[in-house]
Each structure stands twice: as C-alpha cells, then as structure tokens.
C-alpha cells in the first residue's frame, strides 16, 4: 500500500496541478457517460423497436401495377392504382414529373369502359425515356395517344417530352 501511495505522490508531482485536474475531469466525464449515455442508448433502442413494430402494422401502399389489385374494385380505385404505378415507374427511372394533368374523359352511354386522360411534361435522357416508355407499355389498359419529343439544344442529351396517355377501365354498373 505504501508503494501505491508513493507512486500517486510521484504522479502528482510529475503532472502538476493542471495534470491532476485533467485526470479528474476525464474521470468525471467517464462517469457521466456511463450514468447518462448507456440508459439513453437503451431507451433509443426500445423506441426504435416500438416504432418499427408500429410501422409494420400500418397499411401498405397500393400495388405497383393496376393488374395486381387483389379484389374487384371500382374504376376510380383502379385509376388511382394506375396513377401510383405511373409515378412509381417514373421515380424508378429517375424521371421527375413536375407538371401532370389528370382528367376523366366523356363516356358513351352504351360503353362499359371508362376513359381517363393523363398529360405530362418532363425532361429525361434518351435512355431513361426508352425504359420509361417500355415499362409503361406493359401496363394493362394504358394507351399512349400523343407523344412529342424535342431537344432544345443539340449539344445536350436532355429531351423535353410531352406525353398524353389514356387509361381504359371497365366501369362498374
């Protein structure tokens, strides 16, 4: 024990007053870290687990394609699923649709089909546009009616696209 006291006095002499204060501050910060941070970390982990459990019970977004609707739904619901699919395909191909117009077209009295028109303007590269259109073609009930492509500057690869599509769905009676 006397050896330990002698080593402590020797360390105090070598460190000086500022060294001893630095060691005490370091020790105090270690104690605060153990007392405050460890329970906080456990609390955050418990809250994340609770949040993940609550997020799992939330309703899932609509399916990515209109033909994946699980139950027979109305024409309007199928149209909203189609719109979700359109935006999902655009986002997948890194295409932003800043301006888009949705409207219901006039329906014939005898026709069992309901027609919706979607018009949009966007910019993309040629490859993004090709993949976007090829994925749109696989969607049932979709028809591209008008398409205008322009390249304002010949030196750039950006295309300005104006697209008009119609979505046909069987109306419920």
pLDDT, averaged per 10 consecutive residues of the chain (173 residues), comes to 83 78 90 85 89 75 51 74 87 88 78 85 90 88 89 85 88 62
Asked if residue 141 is part of any domain, the answer here is yes
Residue ranges making up the domain that contains 56: 1-62
Residues 88 and 164 in one domain: yes
What value, to the nearest 5°, has the Cα angle with vertex 163 and ends 113 and 85? 60
CATH code where residue 118 lies? 3.30.70.60
Asked if residue 107 is part of any domain, the answer here is yes
Residues 50 and 81 in one domain: no
Three-class DSSP category at 100: strand
Question: What is the rounded CA–CA span in Å between residue 102 and residue 151?
Answer: 25
pLDDT at 173: 55
In a 10 Å sphere around its CB, with 0-12 CB exposed, 13-18 middle and 19+ buried, how is residue 78 labelled?
Answer: buried
Residue 44 CA from chain centroid, whole number:
24
Q: Is the pTM of this model over 0.85?
A: no
Residues 51 and 104 in one domain: no
């Amino acid at each position: 024990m006397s050896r330990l006291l002698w080593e402590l006095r020797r360390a105090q002499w070598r460190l000086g007053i500022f060294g001893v204060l630095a060691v005490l501050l370091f020790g105090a910060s270690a104690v605060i870290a153990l007392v405050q941070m460890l329970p906080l970390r456990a609390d955050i982990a418990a809250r994340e687990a609770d949040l993940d459990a609550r997020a799992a019970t939330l309703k899932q977004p609509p399916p990515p394609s209109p033909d994946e609707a699980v139950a027979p739904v109305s024409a309007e619901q199928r149209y909203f699923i189609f719109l979700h699919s359109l935006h999902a395909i655009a986002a997948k191909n890194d295409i932003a649709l800043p301006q888009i117009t949705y409207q219901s077209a006039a329906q014939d009295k005898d026709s069992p089909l309901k027609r919706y028109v979607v018009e949009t303007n966007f910019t993309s590269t040629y490859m993004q546009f090709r993949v976007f259109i090829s994925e749109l073609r696989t969607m049932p009930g979709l028809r591209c009616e008008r398409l205008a492509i322009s390249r304002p500057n010949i030196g750039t690869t950006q295309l300005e696209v104006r697209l008009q599509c119609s979505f046909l769905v069987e109306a419920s009676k």
